[in-house]
Amino acid sequence: MADLSRSQFDNTGNLSFGLNEHTDFPDQEYDPEIGIFGLDVTISMTRPGARVSRRDKRTRSIPSSHRLTPADAITFLEAEFDVEVDE
């Protein structure tokens, strides 16, 4: 189970966090030739239909009622991935 902070979400529901060591993953062993390195992870979340704002023909803006909010993203992550988000 992972713990995330509310401050790691932006206004459109995207999420960014960092890992200090790549050895935090299961089955990863320390290799002295590689050493230890960290990772920055960014997750971009959108609702179905968001492609209309990026397509080449007949581009349209996404109405605010259809845009993803931080609360929507937090609810989705807690339900689907068993993640706890601290306020």
- What does each of the 87 residues of the chain score in pLDDT, given as a tens digit? 467 999 999 999 999 998 888 777 788 788 888 888 888 999 999 999 989 999 999 999 999 999 999 999 999 999 999 889 998
Q: Enter the DSSP assignment of 61.
A: P
Parent domain of 18: 3-50+64-86
CA atoms of 16 and 18, how far apart (whole Å): 7
CATH number at 37 reads 3.30.1440.10
Q: Could you tell me if residue 26 is inside a domain?
A: yes
pLDDT of residue 35: 86
CA atoms of 74 and 4, how far apart (whole Å): 10
Q: Could you tell me if residue 12 is inside a domain?
A: yes
- Residues with Cβ within 8 Å of residue 68, at least 6 apart in sequence: 12, 13, 45, 46, 47
Distance of CA 37 to the CA centre of its chain: 20
Q: Could you tell me if residue 56 is inside a domain?
A: no
Our count of domains for the chain comes to: 1
Q: Could you tell me if residue 55 is inside a domain?
A: no
